[in-house]
Amino acid sequence: MAKKRSRHQNPQPFFLDDDAVASQKKGRTKAPKGHQKEEKLISSGMSSKILKEALLQQREVQDEVAEEQNPNYSLIAAEEPLKDEEDIDDFTGFDETRSQHGGYDEEINEDDEKLLASFERKDVGRQLTLADIIIEKIKEKDAAVSSETRPLPKLDQSIIDLYKGVGKLLSRYTAGKMPKAFKHIPSLQLWEDVLYLTEPENWSPNAVYQATRIFASNLGVKKAERFYKLVLLPRVREDIRKNKKLHFALYQALKKSLYKPAAFNKGILFPLCESGTCNLREAVIIGSVIQKVSIPPLHSSVAILKMAEMEYCGTTSYFIKLLFEKKYALPYRVLDAAVAHFMRFFDDTRIMPVIWHQSLLAFVQRYKNELMKEDKDELRILIDKQKHILVTPEIFRELTNSRNRGEKEDDLMLISTPISVINKTIEEDRFDIPDVPMEED
């Protein structure tokens, strides 16, 4: 009888990668063998995470060495690692045929523009930019540079030369990769001083768009708010003032800025309304961004509440109207603030612009069933004094044919339908009323 051969087993386990597992037959029902239960090779995703962590640790070591060699290095030390922005390098620029098309509908009437101009404040100074803020800080710290037109912050000379060169590149930027040194600005501690060295007022429109993409993705809400307020908003307003329209790249930058809606409100919308100098053309262009981009209801509620309490500027009504027309469910506190906003003009002797009446109409159309009876009575008195030949009858009709806050929909039929109409309808046999015999006593 032949001797039974012993089975040779591989002392090392078989390593299965993801492709091998995916290629196994679907119908297999047997339990995996012991050597298949051993640990697998590290997946590619885990490898990339390990490499990123290793690079981060290596960068920290390099920072420590650089700080020992250069004492000024700590002034621009990175606060947090930069997010991946590989898609930014794929930017191919905007077509020149679209470069001066703002993407908004032209609906500016000269008469309306003149009327709204009467609501602008005349005693408002020039709007501050990032350069103004930095120059003021430098002059406060060092009186010797107070006579210089554009003093430089106290940074290492190599850093100053580097970012001044970046600024020259951005002044003629059209497409392609952004400088790596610029993409690291959001993670620097003194990012405002470094950004000031690049002279943002001289950037090309495409560079402004790319910068907005980078800063909206890598800055917190407070820092993004400062970038919008001190860099993006002044640049947008200046372009509208010079060209009577907005460059397409700047328009796209405004849309990108809504990536952080809280920063957009605090950095663009509120400063624009508070300035008291926003004209109708600026309101239409920036308002079209609000129309086209979805804004979370919470941020819309905050925007309405804040603008309703501001000192009135004619174009504020335009932004309030746009947010009403988004038809979001607003808290009662916001609705009450909106009613108080309109009632502020009860004793105003000025002729209110058409957009004010339109914003009131939009308000009662969307939220008439959420208003209290007292609020509706006050609004009726208001429109009896502040009248518009076309809009006021519509507002009165909306207030009349609506239920009050807290009432059910069934109660609306009894309120809005007069008894005379009901009697006339019964007489004309429009209702099929069955003959019900009366019970005898």
Tokens of 418: 């007069």
What tens digit of pLDDT does each residue of 309-321 get? 988 888 899 999 9
What tens digit of pLDDT does each residue of 253-303 get? 999 999 999 999 999 999 999 888 888 899 999 999 999 999 999 999 999
Global pTM exceeds 0.85: no
**Higher-confidence residue: 102 or 186?**
186
The mean pLDDT of 245-253, rounded to a whole number, is 93
**Higher-confidence residue: 164 or 57?**
164
What tens digit of pLDDT does each residue of 158-215 get? 888 898 899 999 999 998 889 899 988 888 888 888 898 899 999 999 999 999 999 9
Which position has the token pair 């060699």? 69
Tokens of 32: 């995996």
Per-residue model confidence (pLDDT) at position 314: 81
Helix (H, G, I), strand (E, B) or coil at 188: strand
Per-residue model confidence (pLDDT) at position 46: 63
Per-residue model confidence (pLDDT) at position 122: 59
Per-residue model confidence (pLDDT) at position 313: 82
Residue 328 contacts residue 300 (beta carbons within 8 Å): yes
Provide the β-strand partners of residue 188. 78
Tokens of 361: 């109409």
DSSP classification of residue 130: H
Q: What is the dihedral of CA 55, 60, 61, 65, to 10 degrees?
A: 130
User: What is the C-alpha separation between 232 and 363, in angstroms, rounded?
Assistant: 31
Which residues are CB-neighbours of 431 under 8 A, at least 6 positions away? 425
Residue 348 contacts residue 316 (beta carbons within 8 Å): no
Please write down the long-range contacts of 375-383, taking CB distance under 8 Å and 24 or more positions apart: 375/336, 375/339, 376/402, 376/404, 378/339, 378/343, 379/339, 379/342, 379/343, 381/346, 382/342, 382/343, 382/345, 382/346
Residue 78, phi then psi, degrees to nearest 5: -75, 135
- Give the CA distances from residue 367 to residues 43, 261, 318, 341, in Å, rounded to whole numbers and listed in that order: 55, 23, 17, 15
Residue 263's nearest CA partner among 235, 240, 295, 241 is: 295
Provide the β-strand partners of residue 78. 188
Which residues are CB-neighbours of 306 under 8 A, at least 6 positions away? 265, 270
- Give the CA distances from residue 75 to residues 154, 156, 188, 284, 409, in Å, rounded to whole numbers and listed in that order: 10, 9, 8, 42, 64
The mean pLDDT of 378-394, rounded to a whole number, is 91
Helix (H, G, I), strand (E, B) or coil at 147: coil
Average pLDDT over the chain, rounded to an integer: 76
Confidence of residue 128 (pLDDT cuts 50, 70, 90): confident
Confidence of residue 414 (pLDDT cuts 50, 70, 90): very low
Which residues are CB-neighbours of 64 under 8 A, at least 6 positions away? none
User: What is the C-alpha separation between 295 and 263, in angstroms, rounded?
Assistant: 12
**397: how many CB neighbours lie within 10 A of its CB?**
11
The mean pLDDT of 352-358, rounded to a whole number, is 90
**pLDDT at 43 > cutoff 70:** no
Per-residue model confidence (pLDDT) at position 157: 85
**pLDDT at 416 > cutoff 90:** no
User: What is the C-alpha separation between 4 and 146, in angstroms, rounded?
Assistant: 100
* H or E element at residue 367: helix 354-367
DSSP string of 330-362, one letter each residue: --HHHHHHHHHHHHTTSS--SPPPHHHHHHHHH
From the number of C-beta atoms within 10 Å of its C-beta (0-12, 13-18, 19+), residue 223 rates as middle
Residue 232 contacts residue 130 (beta carbons within 8 Å): no
Per-residue model confidence (pLDDT) at position 347: 86
Per-residue model confidence (pLDDT) at position 49: 66
For the chain, the straight-line distance linking the first and the last C-alpha, in angstroms and rounded, comes to 116
Per-residue model confidence (pLDDT) at position 435: 40
Per-residue model confidence (pLDDT) at position 104: 54
276: left (phi over 0), alpha (psi -120 to 50) or beta: left
Residue 399 contacts residue 376 (beta carbons within 8 Å): yes
Please tell me the least confidently modeled range out of 52-56, 79-83, 248-252, 261-265: 79-83
Please tell me the least confidently modeled range out of 338-347, 358-367, 432-441: 432-441
User: What is the C-alpha separation between 237 and 246, in angstroms, rounded?
Assistant: 9
Residue 332 contacts residue 369 (beta carbons within 8 Å): no
